[in-house]
Amino acid sequence: MNRELTKALWSDALEFFRQAGENRVEPSYALREDLAGLRIYEEPIFAVAGAGDVMFEGLKQEHAIGPHYLTPKEWLPSALTVVAYFLPFSETVRRSNRIHPSHPSTEWQHGRIEGELMNTVFRRYIAAWLREQGFESLIPGEDPRYQVREPVSSNWSERHAAYIAGLGTFGMSKGLITEKGIAGRVGTVITSAPLAVTERPYHDLYEYCNRCGACARRCPAGAITPGPNLHSCKSNPACGDFLQPLKDWSAAGGDTRPPEEQDEYRPEKMRIRFGCGKCQAGVPCESRIPRQRSE
């Protein structure tokens, strides 16, 4: 376990993050003039999982992800650790999506599209940094073996890897609640580097969720039904059914911004812009671990 190497990685990754132009909306792509230069993320948090953690093997069980799931060592035989990070959406992106009950805010759509580009750039920076130090690194989502099974089950899960790394626990909405909340994006890199493994500060898959049900009340699709068993509260098909028409409409050049903003229609900017995220904004776990409710 190499603590110095781990510290150097975090330090350089944070410096890269602070300088990254991709964390701002490029003016020519801004969907509203005032969104030119919009900051997408606040500073990330990091954690490291041991590649041989038995929890990865456990994800092959049917009730978890399934036998199609590949463990870190199946992706990269030399793997020793998995780097996980969480990029929290900025206050502007989060606040904007609290307002309209069903339309994703324009800022949120930037977070979803430009935000994922920044996430890609950040993953690649970490992978390249590790390679420069002489280690192997692999990003499962960019590997030819990566597969998504409909409706939403792939052979690698960044949220589960982040959970195993100690970055956060799941919520009723199935997002990952971290110390910086649930609204943001997760990234992972598998590596042969002997990084210092993070001690998980929790014991249960849903420990940080206080079961308040706010995400269920916010969901315009009725895809979340509060109940004692958090494994089955969220219906991925119902969530997908809500998102699919928006995706199709957007792919056909439709304007998915809130109605009051649809004054200046620019289809070339709107293409493939859709989203929802109502279960992640305006909820107690939006930007922190929520207070547990008193019994």
CB of 207 to ligand SF4, least distance (A): 11
Instruction: Examine residue 140 and tell whether it contacts ligand SF4 (CB under 6 A).
Output: no
Q: For residue 102, how many other CB atoms are within 10 A of its CB?
A: 13
Helices (H), ranges, 141-295: 158-165, 214-218, 236-251, 267-270
Which range binds ligand SF4 by CB under 6 A, 2-10, 21-29, 61-69, 276-284? 276-284
Q: How many CA atoms lie within 13 A of 213 on its CB side?
A: 7
Instruction: Examine residue 283 and tell whether it contacts ligand SF4 (CB under 6 A).
Output: yes
CB of 10 to ligand SF4, least distance (A): 27
- DSSP bridge pairs for 24: 39
60 Cα distance to chain centroid: 21
Instruction: Examine residue 209 and tell whether it contacts ligand SF4 (CB under 6 A).
Output: yes
Residue list 213-242, contact with ligand SF4 (CB under 6 A): 213-215, 218-219, 221, 223-224, 239, 242
Distance CA 263, CA 86 (A): 35
CB of 222 to ligand SF4, least distance (A): 8
Which range binds ligand SF4 by CB under 6 A, 38-46, 153-161, 209-217, 260-268? 209-217
Element housing 138 (H / E): strand 137-138
Q: Is there a contact between 96 and 108 (Cβ–Cβ < 8 Å)?
A: yes
Which range binds ligand SF4 by CB under 6 A, 36-44, 84-92, 130-138, 205-213? 205-213
Q: For residue 232, how many other CB atoms are within 10 A of its CB?
A: 9
In the complex, the residues that contact ligand SF4 under the rule CB under 6 A are 171-173, 209-215, 218-219, 221, 223-224, 239, 242, 276-279, 283-285, 290
